[in-house]
């Protein structure tokens, strides 16, 4: 074997394998993009006279509300996420190590749960205002003015308190790994910390901030539970009303596609705004800047500032849920189906996570090995699922999914002569499919960003030392990618667990997850019945979040964790570009 | 010697998988429902006890029609159940139901509460009532009076686009025509104390919280709150308000229905019919009344004492099957007056 062949990446798998890898990744991409195609097909049926009505009465308000919500959530998550990331990187204060993981906890709290919890807590006859009135000696709730959480402001704050980790994670990772040496240079040149932050660290962190914020914004945009509950009319809510109340599914599919265009263009605009800037990754050489020790009231201030998001985004709602769940347990005992619900939730999320990782790996590896345009197109297209609201995605999935299911049943009947019914939907495989479509961007992005830090020379060296292709993957790539894979897996798992709309629509008979059970209770207005399920979602979600936090204990690995978020965002950027 | 036969191997795997999907019960019926599982479970358990037929359920909030129609001929659905007349008629219009001729159902369900061809049957009724601050005197209150400017800043209601509210608006259209309905809706909007939001119970809680004096909600929530079934907090909300059965001027109270249809390709049709017929039996109708605090559709069945205490119900004379024709116009009006803005 010639040296050329060893050194050339194209020869790494041999032509045949390269082709099959490419074929696999294109197939995966097609499978993942099917619901979007389904959506286009529905939209193309024509929406009758929906648009004049929408343009005249619905869109002006909902588009404005959507933009205000996005702007508000964007500003707050960027301010919170970036400032916290900098505080924990540049300064040392008592409790800093605690916050390194505690600040991730809100990731475990779904937006709809945080909305229910705060509405109860802050209601005029709830505990907070009750206590205030007692302190102030006011007896009638009408005499105490208190801002209503059911408002745009309330919605922005509540969403931001659980979504800021999307910015915090990649930005801190970037500060830790990328900015270290540059910050030290700036310090040597006499810049004070303020100047370093605004002139060195912040501009450096901009890609991380942008991708983190775009993920947070997509979560905010796709949320229906919290906004509907808090009376904020986003586009997602109008998609819903058009479909449900006016039975105009094509009309709602058209709004959904328009929304997707909006999302992609927002990403495009940010990308365009920094088109002249170049960022060079130098993760291997990076070192951490020495944090400055804070003491006295400054340390106390830092402690309080870092506590706020943990308290509001996690501790208060979780404590409230725990109290409610306890009351409920005393009142009605342990719900009979709780065990099955937990099992269903964990098993489905775990399988989906595994599948999403494998497919993400294939897509990213195909791109790395073949450098074929088809592979990178497949990778970009595969991440579209995240940019469509979950409910709409589920509807788009219905057509291709059941067509496939029926085809499979037809085939089995033709070959074996037995009638087996709908296997894909009946076995719950449809849910796995939906989760993978929705969250593939996180795993694929994570793996890709992990790969991007492995020099091709590693591949060459392994081969030159006599390792086979598969051996190189097993003994070189996989071990090196482990942190990136682990971080991506944890994020996907948490997201699958929280997923509601697709689960609700596509699950088989007699199949409840924690989220669907909670939703059923919430629809009846009996959230207290749901409080046990809500607490379980938070608790089950806590385990992966803690693992994620452990990864960040070792600075070298913190970047990997940020990597999945950055990677997912970068993918979306790429997609916007293409 | 054992020879592996690939076809047989695949078959046994398939048998295993399909065993997971279609359960081993000989007698079963598959129910797709937009009704919250907690509310119908006691009913279904009693049906299984009485008939020996196992009920498999899936609670689908939105997209029931889309799912059943995408499943096509192999759809496992036998019975489709919804909690709003609009959703029910949507199913019929999408062609995922089949008509049913049943003497038992026709005898039990009055003709204005079922489709003439048997493509849907109402199973229970709920009234759209007024929750009010106890200080008010609301004798003979009408829906029309919600538009009275004297209630400015004093009314709370859930989203105008919620099916319960669009059905009320549709009933208003049926009574007064589209133009008057729009004017009424705009005037009600002007009277709101806060943006529409939350569920029906929120309206009771907000009255207690002093955000408004009048709320619009369904009758059964009153029973759920006052019985303590929703926990001690809700008992306080329910008992802290007074409840009035309003009417359209010169007519009766607006009711919505929960109902069901037989799915077009029902694989267990005989059991599906059994289930529907059982749901209008005396036993089931009294469970609807006692467990869920609804009004039974069957003449002679008793309502729960908590609901009886609201006073006699005089149902609006325009049948739901007529009202439902205005549902899309109603939804458009809600947008037109910017009700939820």
Rg (C-alpha) for chain B, rounded Å, is 22
**Other Cβ atoms within 10 Å of A272 Cβ, number:** 12
Mean pLDDT of B142-163: 94
For A290-344, what is each residue's pLDDT tens digit? Answer: 788 888 899 999 999 999 999 999 999 999 989 988 888 887 777 778 889 999 9
**pLDDT at res. A575:** 42
**pLDDT at res. A300:** 94
Distance CA B81, CA B87 (A): 9
CB < 8 Å from A in window 194-253 of B: 194-202, 205-206, 208-211, 221, 224, 230-234
Give the Cα-Cα-Cα angle A350, A352, A356 (nearest 5 degrees): 120
CA distance B316 to chain A (A): 23
Q: Which residue has the higher pLDDT, A10 or A374?
A: A374
Distance CA B332, CA A241 (A): 10
**B197, A231: Cβ pair inside 8 Å?**
yes
**pLDDT at res. A553:** 57
**B37, A512: Cβ pair inside 8 Å?**
yes
**pLDDT at res. A58:** 84
Domain A3-276+296-577 has CATH 3.30.1370.60: no
Residue A292: its H or E element? strand A292-293
Mean pLDDT of B40-45: 90
Is B85 part of the contact surface with chain A (CB cutoff 8 Å)? no
* Res B79 pLDDT > 60: yes
Strands (E), chain B: 28-33, 54-59, 79-82, 97-98, 121-133, 155-156, 214-218, 241-244, 255-263, 295-296
Is B141 part of the contact surface with chain A (CB cutoff 8 Å)? no
**pLDDT at res. A239:** 80
For B212-238, what is each residue's pLDDT tens digit? Answer: 999 999 999 999 899 987 778 888 999
Topology classification of domain B27-124+255-303: D-Maltodextrin-Binding Protein; domain 2 (3.40.190)
**B205, A123: Cβ pair inside 8 Å?**
yes
Q: Give the three-state DSSP class for A251.
A: helix
Mean pLDDT of A20-44: 86
Distance CA A33, CA A211 (A): 22
Mean pLDDT of B82-97: 92
Distance CA B23, CA A331 (A): 34
CA distance B161 to chain A (A): 7
- Candidate from A381-395, A437-451, A513-527, B14-28 with smallest mean pLDDT: B14-28
Distance CA A534, CA A496 (A): 15
**pLDDT at res. A276:** 63
Distance CA A518, CA A337 (A): 12
In terms of Cβ atoms closer than 10 Å to its own Cβ (0-12, 13-18, 19+), residue B145 is middle
pTM: 0.83
* Res B98 pLDDT > 60: yes
* Res B282 pLDDT > 90: yes
Strands (E), A397-536: none
φ, ψ at A293 (rounded to 5°): -80, 125
* CB contact at 8 A, B286 and B123: no
Among all chains, which residue has been given the structure tokens 């002006």? A60
Residues in A closer than 8 angstroms to B71, CB to CB, are 402, 405, 422, 425
CA A115, A117, A119, A122 torsion: positive or negative? negative
**A61, B341: Cβ pair inside 8 Å?**
yes
> ipTM value of the model?
0.81
Residues in B closer than 8 angstroms to A395, CB to CB, are 63, 66
CA distance A563 to chain B (A): 36
Q: How far is CA B243 from CA A207, A211, B135, in A?
A: 57, 52, 12
* Res B155 pLDDT > 50: yes
* Position A289 confidence tier, pLDDT thresholds 50, 70, 90: low
Distance CA A459, CA A469 (A): 9
What percentage of chain A has pLDDT greater than the value 90?
Answer: 17
Beta bridge mates, B82: B259
CATH class for domain B126-254+312-336?
A: alpha beta
* Position B259 confidence tier, pLDDT thresholds 50, 70, 90: very high
Q: Where are the domains of chain B?
A: 27-124+255-303, 126-254+312-336
**pLDDT at res. A494:** 87
One DSSP character per residue, B93-148 reads: HTT-EE----HHHHHHS-GGGB-TTSS-EEEEEEEEEEEEETT---TT-BGGGGG-
CB < 8 Å from A in window 16-45 of B: 17-18, 20-22, 30, 36-39
**pLDDT at res. A336:** 79
Strands (E), A69-226: 91-92
In terms of Cβ atoms closer than 10 Å to its own Cβ (0-12, 13-18, 19+), residue B240 is middle
**B20, A246: Cβ pair inside 8 Å?**
no
Among the partner-chain residues B10, B195, B209, the one whose CB lies closest to the CB of A124 is B209
CB < 8 Å from A in window 143-202 of B: 159, 161, 163, 166, 194-202
For A5-15, what is each residue's pLDDT tens digit? Answer: 444 444 444 45
* Position B265 confidence tier, pLDDT thresholds 50, 70, 90: very high
CB < 8 Å from B in window 143-162 of A: 148, 150-151
Mean pLDDT of A467-487: 79
* CB contact at 8 A, B75 and B265: yes
Q: Which of A442, A405, A407, A445 is nearest to A426 (CA)?
A: A405
Distance CA A81, CA A213 (A): 9
Distance CA A6, CA A290 (A): 43
Mean pLDDT of B314-339: 92
CA distance A230 to chain B (A): 7
Distance CA B337, CA B341 (A): 9
* Position B14 confidence tier, pLDDT thresholds 50, 70, 90: very low
Q: Where are the domains of chain A?
A: 3-276+296-577
CA distance B107 to chain A (A): 31
**pLDDT at res. B337:** 95
Mean pLDDT of B131-145: 94
DSSP for residue B142: B
Mean pLDDT of A370-392: 78
Domains B27-124+255-303 and B126-254+312-336 agree in fold: yes
**pLDDT at res. A179:** 58
- Candidate from A55-64, A568-577, B323-332 with smallest mean pLDDT: A568-577
CA distance B230 to chain A (A): 6
Residues in B closer than 8 angstroms to A405, CB to CB, are 71, 74
Q: Which of B302, B306, B308, B310 is nearest to B286 (CA)?
A: B302
Task: Give the tokens for residue A449.
Answer: 């960003």
Beta bridge mates, B79: B31, B262
**pLDDT at res. A241:** 74
**pLDDT at res. A16:** 62
- Candidate from A102-111, A176-185, A466-475, A566-575 with smallest mean pLDDT: A566-575
**pLDDT at res. A278:** 55
Rg (C-alpha) for chain A, rounded Å, is 25
Mean pLDDT over each residue of chain A, to the nearest integer: 80
**pLDDT at res. B16:** 43
**pLDDT at res. A433:** 92
Which residue out of B195, B241, B330 would a mutagenesis test of the A interface target, given it has the greatest number of A Cβ atoms within 10 Å? B195
**A529, B38: Cβ pair inside 8 Å?**
yes
CB < 8 Å from B in window 260-319 of A: none
* Euclidean distance between the first and the last CA atom of chain B, given in angstroms as a whole number: 76
Among the partner-chain residues B20, B74, B233, the one whose CB lies closest to the CB of A422 is B74
Name the packing angle between helices A373-381 and A338-370 (round to 10°): 160
**Other Cβ atoms within 10 Å of A474 Cβ, number:** 12
Minimum Cα–Cα distance from B333: chain A residue: A57
DSSP for residue A372: -
Mean pLDDT of B330-336: 93
**pLDDT at res. A3:** 41
* CB contact at 8 A, B280 and B298: yes
**B67, A398: Cβ pair inside 8 Å?**
yes
**pLDDT at res. B36:** 80
Residues in A closer than 8 angstroms to B95, CB to CB, are none
Beta bridge mates, B296: B124
Give the Cα-Cα-Cα angle B154, B159, B163 (nearest 5 degrees): 125
- 3-state secondary structure string across A507-567: CCCCCCCHHHHHHHHHHHCCHHHHHHHHHHHHHHHHHHHHHHHHHHHCHHHHHHHHHHHHH
Q: Best-predicted range by mean pLDDT among A199-203, A226-230, A294-298, A311-315?
A: A311-315
Minimum Cα–Cα distance from A234: chain B residue: B341
* CB contact at 8 A, B89 and B82: no
Q: Give the three-state DSSP class for A219.
A: helix
What percentage of chain A has pLDDT greater than the value 70?
Answer: 87
**pLDDT at res. B165:** 95
Among the partner-chain residues B71, B196, B232, the one whose CB lies closest to the CB of A231 is B196
Minimum Cα–Cα distance from A126: chain B residue: B209
Which residue out of A140, A247, A404 would a mutagenesis test of the B interface target, given it has the greatest number of B Cβ atoms within 10 Å? A247
What percentage of chain B has pLDDT greater than the value 90?
Answer: 72
* Res A375 pLDDT > 60: yes
* Position A158 confidence tier, pLDDT thresholds 50, 70, 90: very high
* CB contact at 8 A, B293 and B220: yes
For B16-25, what is each residue's pLDDT tens digit? Answer: 444 444 444 5
* CB contact at 8 A, B59 and B34: yes
**pLDDT at res. A236:** 77
**B17, A331: Cβ pair inside 8 Å?**
no
**B62, A240: Cβ pair inside 8 Å?**
yes
Q: Best-predicted range by mean pLDDT among A60-74, A92-106, A477-491, B268-282?
A: B268-282
Residues in B closer than 8 angstroms to A53, CB to CB, are 332, 335
Distance CA A101, CA A99 (A): 5
CA distance A262 to chain B (A): 22
């Amino acid at each position: 074997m010639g040296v050329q062949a060893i050194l050339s990446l194209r020869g790494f798998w041999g032509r045949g394998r390269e082709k099959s890898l490419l074929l696999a990744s294109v197939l995966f991409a097609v499978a993942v993009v099917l619901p979007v195609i389904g959506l286009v097909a529905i939209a193309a049926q024509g929406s009758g006279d929906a648009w004049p009505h929408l343009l005249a009465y619905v869109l002006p308000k909902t588009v404005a509300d959507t933009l205000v919500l996005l702007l508000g959530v964007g500003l707050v998550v960027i301010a919170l996420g970036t400032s916290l990331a900098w505080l924990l990187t540049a300064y040392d204060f008592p409790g800093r190590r605690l916050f390194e993981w505690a600040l991730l906890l809100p990731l475990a709290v779904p937006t709809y749960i945080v909305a229910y919890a705060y509405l109860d807590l802050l209601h005029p006859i709830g505990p907070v205002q009750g206590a205030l009135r007692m302190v102030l000696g006011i007896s009638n709730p009408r005499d105490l003015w208190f801002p209503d959480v059911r408002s745009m402001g309330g919605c922005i704050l509540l969403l931001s308190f659980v979504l800021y980790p999307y910015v915090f994670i990649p930005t801190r990772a970037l500060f830790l790994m990328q900015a270290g040496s540059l910050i030290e240079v700036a310090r040597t040149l006499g810049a004070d910390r303020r100047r370093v932050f605004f002139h060195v660290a912040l501009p450096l962190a901009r890609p991380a901030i942008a991708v983190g914020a775009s993920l947070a914004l997509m979560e905010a945009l796709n949320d229906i539970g919290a906004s509907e509950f808090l009376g904020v009319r986003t586009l997602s809510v109008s998609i819903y009303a058009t479909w449900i109340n006016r039975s105009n599914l094509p009309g709602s599919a058209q709004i959904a596609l328009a929304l997707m265009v909006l999302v992609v263009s927002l990403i495009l605009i940010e990308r365009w705004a920094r088109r002249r800037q170049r960022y060079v990754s130098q993760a291997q050489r990076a070192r951490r800047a020495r944090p400055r020790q804070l003491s006295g009231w400054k340390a106390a201030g830092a402690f309080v500032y870092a506590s706020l998001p943990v308290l509001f985004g996690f501790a208060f709602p979780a404590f409230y849920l725990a109290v409610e769940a306890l009351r409920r347990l005393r009142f009605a005992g342990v719900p009979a189906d709780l065990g099955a619900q937990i099992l269903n939730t964990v098993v489905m999320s775990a399988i989906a996570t595994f599948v999403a990782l494998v497919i993400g790996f294939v897509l990213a590896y195909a791109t790395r090995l073949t450098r074929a345009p088809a592979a990178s197109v497949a990778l970009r297209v595969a991440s579209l699922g995240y940019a469509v609201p979950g409910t709409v995605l589920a509807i788009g999935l219905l057509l291709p999914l059941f067509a496939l299911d029926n085809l499979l049943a037809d085939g089995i009947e033709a070959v074996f002569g037995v009638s087996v019914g709908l296997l894909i939907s009946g076995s719950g495989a449809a849910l796995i499919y939906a989760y993978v479509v929705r969250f593939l961007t996180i795993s694929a992005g994570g793996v890709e960003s992990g790969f991007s830090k492995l020099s091709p020379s590693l591949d060459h060296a392994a081969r030159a030392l006599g390792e086979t292709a598969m051996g190189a993957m097993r003994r070189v790539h996989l071990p090196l990618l482990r942190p990136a894979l682990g971080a991506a897996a944890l994020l996907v798992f948490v997201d699958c667990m929280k997923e509601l709309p697709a689960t609700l629509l596509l699950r088989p008979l007699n199949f409840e997850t924690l989220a669907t059970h909670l939703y059923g209770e919430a629809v009846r207005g009996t959230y207290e019945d749901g409080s046990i399920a809500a607490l379980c979602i938070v608790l089950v979600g806590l385990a992966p979040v803690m693992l994620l936090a452990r990864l960040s204990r070792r600075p070298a690995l913190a970047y990997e964790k940020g990597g999945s978020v950055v990677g997912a965002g970068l993918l979306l950027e790429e997609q916007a570009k293409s | 010697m054992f020879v592996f036969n690939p076809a047989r191997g695949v078959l046994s795997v398939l048998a295993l998988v399909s065993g997971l999907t279609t359960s081993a019960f000989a007698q079963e019926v598959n129910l797709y429902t937009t009704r919250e599982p907690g509310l119908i479970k006691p009913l279904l358990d009693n049906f299984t006890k009485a008939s020996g037929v196992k009920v498999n359920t899936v609670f689908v909030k939105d997209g029931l029609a889309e799912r059943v129609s995408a499943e096509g001929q192999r759809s496992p659905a036998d019975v489709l159940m919804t909690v709003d007349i609009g959703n029910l008629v949507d199913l019929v219009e999408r062609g995922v139901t089949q008509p049913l001729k049943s003497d038992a159902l026709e005898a039990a369900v009055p003709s204005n509460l079922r489709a003439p061809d048997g493509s849907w049957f109402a199973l229970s009724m709920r009234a759209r009532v007024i929750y009010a601050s106890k200080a008010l005197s609301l004798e003979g209150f009408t829906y029309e009076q919600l538009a009275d400017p004297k209630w400015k800043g004093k009314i709370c209601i859930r989203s105008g686009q919620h099916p319960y509210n669009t059905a009320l608006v549709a009933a208003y259209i049926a009574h007064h025509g589209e133009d008057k309905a729009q004017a009424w809706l705009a005037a009600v909007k002007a009277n709101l104390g806060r943006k529409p939001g939350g569920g029906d119970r929120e309206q009771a809680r907000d009255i207690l919280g002093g955000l408004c004096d009048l709320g619009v909600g369904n009758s059964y929530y009153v029973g759920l709150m006052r019985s303590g079934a929703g926990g001690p907090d809700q008992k306080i909300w329910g008992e802290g308000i007074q409840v009035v059965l309003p009417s359209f001027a010169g007519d009766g109270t607006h009711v919505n229905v929960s109902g069901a249809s037989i799915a077009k390709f029902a694989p267990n049709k005989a059991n599906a019919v059994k289930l529907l017929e059982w749901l209008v039996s005396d036993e089931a109708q009294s469970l609807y009344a006692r467990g869920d605090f609804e009004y039974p559709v069957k003449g002679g069945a008793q309502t729960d004492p908590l609901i009886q205490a609201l006073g006699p119900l005089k149902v609006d004379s325009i049948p739901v099957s007529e009202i439902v024709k205005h549902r899309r116009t109603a939804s458009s009006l809600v947008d037109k007056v910017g009700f939820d803005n």
